[in-house]
Amino acid sequence: ELMASAACALHSTPLRFYRGVNDFEIIPEDSHVGCGFIGIGLLNSLMGEDVLKTKKVIAIQLRIFAPVYGVFKGMLMVKPDITTIQLPDSLKKVEPSLKEEQVLN
């Protein structure tokens, strides 16, 4: 489950999305401490192209609840050349609750 802050005034409540485990990628910390990344195509599919055309969205605030990965909180910067949501360890607030085999099988 991915919960993101409203990126524009068109949304009065936080947005909630359900994504598969293949949409997420754990990445090493590398001079971007405290920030993850999201591909522009994935952001378009979540927020809608109309929103992104009228607003200059360069980042979104998020909460991710995923039994396989844990709980993440922080910011995702737009990174045009990727197709996933990349999460560094610094965004992880709670460790995974289940083993991957239990969730995926």
- At 20-77, the pLDDT tens digits run 889 999 998 877 777 999 998 888 888 777 666 667 778 888 888 888 889 999 999 9
Residue 27 located in a structural domain: yes
Find the domain containing 41 and state its range: 2-100
Residue 105 located in a structural domain: no
Residue 50 located in a structural domain: yes
Domain count, the chain: 1
Which of 69, 48, 67 lies closest to 57, judged by CA?
48
Q: Please say whether the dihedral angle defined by the alpha carbons of residues 78, 81, 87 and 91, taken in this order, is positive or negative.
A: negative
Give the model confidence (pLDDT) of 72-103 as tens digits: 999 999 898 999 999 999 999 999 886 655 55
**φ and ψ of 104, to 5 deg:** -80, -20
Residue 90 located in a structural domain: yes
